[in-house]
Structure 1
Amino acid sequence: MSDIAPSSRLWTMRIAFSALVMVIVFLHLLPLQTATGGLIWPDFLLLFALAWSVRRPDYVPATLLAVLFLMADLLLQRPPGLWALLALIACEQMKMQSRSLRDASLASEIVSAVLWIVGIGIAYRLVLAIMLIGVPPLGPALIQIVVTAVAYPLAIAITHMLMGVRKPTPGDIDGKGVRS
């Protein structure tokens, strides 16, 4: 895709990310797991949003992330806006760190993402408890946080190898035609 103009590549990748989110939400809504006590899946939406935020911040602008996270909150019947706000804060912080994480090791990126995943999970439960909203059981919530954190390297691999979203190298031209 290197022969595509930077602005068309930018919009193509934004549409691709939106489509990825739609597929994730659609699969989440399917009644695939009808028995209780089944598998607890990672939060793929958060994983891919964090991975794309580090690799190509211009592909996932804050407005797009906010709309997609809010849509997911509404469709997945979570308290509207809470998870979306927390995930957006994490993604924006990862974007601010993306230049330093680009030059750092993969392990530092994973540690940073895992800290945000754990922080979001804890903050979500705290805000729900403070607002006296029904808090999901602690056990499955902790398992989902751990499973999501462990799955981050998988999201990186899929993002890098299958979707072609790689960290920019010095001298690459971003979506706005500016060298990074």
Structure 2
Amino acid sequence: MDRQISHIWIMRALYLFLAVLIMFLHLLPLDTQPDRWPFPDFLIAMTFVWVLRQPDYVPILLVAAVMLMADLLLQRPPGLLAALVVLGTGYLRSAAPGMRDAGFVAEWTSAAVVITGVFLLNRVILAILSVQQAALGPVVVQVVLTIAVYPLFVLLSQNVFGVRRVSVSDSVTGGARA
């Protein structure tokens, strides 16, 4: 039991490390030219993969802290995208047990719907509050690219970090909650 709990905490620390690494790489001035294509939101894709595959590894408070830190570092309106991602992870967390028997396409579709909803709600709320925002075209491209990199994060998380779907036997034993 202690071994299982320590493994969960190690994986939470790994998630935090990977999130900080993604933000660090995003902030690096690698090119002085403006980007032609917006980058996909790797942080959201990774978070949704981990929530759907191993919800115990990414508790809501950790997601909230990571996304709020990303909002502050990436100079986005503080808390808005963080709150939307927390809502999205809450929905995916509740939907994850029902997707155990569903295939990858169902998982990817659910993640795509939530990613689209997060970006759409973010844009609508910013428009209601009259906050200046990027043109619609690059945002749509970013949503499509974020959805497109989701399978890559599934492969990376599963094969490199061992973040696999919760099996039925794990759910029967109850798993460890920390």
- Structure 1 stretches of at least 4 aligned residues deviating more than 4 Å after TM superposition: none
Q: 1:83 — aligned with what? A: 81
Deviation at 1:4, TM superposition (A): 7.7
Q: Which one of 57, 65, 76 corresponds to residue 67 of structure 1?
A: 65
Q: 1:24 — aligned with what? A: 22
Q: 1:142 — aligned with what? A: 140
Please give the alpha-carbon distance, in whole angstroms, between the structure 2 residues aligned to 1:19 and 1:8: 16
Q: 2:100 — aligned with what? A: 102
Deviation at 1:40, TM superposition (A): 2.1
TM-score by length of 1: 0.93
In 2 relative to 1, CA 11–108 (structure 1 residues): closer, same or farther, beyond 3 Å?
Answer: same
Deviates more, 1:116-125 or 1:71-80: 116-125
**8 A contact 1:24–1:44 mirrored in 2:** yes
Please give the alpha-carbon distance, in whole angstroms, between the structure 2 residues aligned to 1:18 and 1:175: 20
Partner of 1:99: helix, strand, or coil?
Answer: helix
Q: Name the amino acid aligned to 1:68.
A: V
What does 1:1-180 align with in structure 2 at a 5 Å threshold?
5-172=3-170, 174-176=175-177
Q: How many pairs align?
A: 175
Q: Identity over aligned residues, as a percent?
A: 38
**8 A contact 1:73–1:83 mirrored in 2:** yes
**8 A contact 2:39–2:145 mirrored in 1:** yes
Deviates more, 1:77-86 or 1:165-174: 165-174
**8 A contact 2:4–2:176 mirrored in 1:** yes
Deviation at 1:138, TM superposition (A): 1.0
**8 A contact 2:37–2:138 mirrored in 1:** no
Partner of 2:163: helix, strand, or coil?
Answer: coil
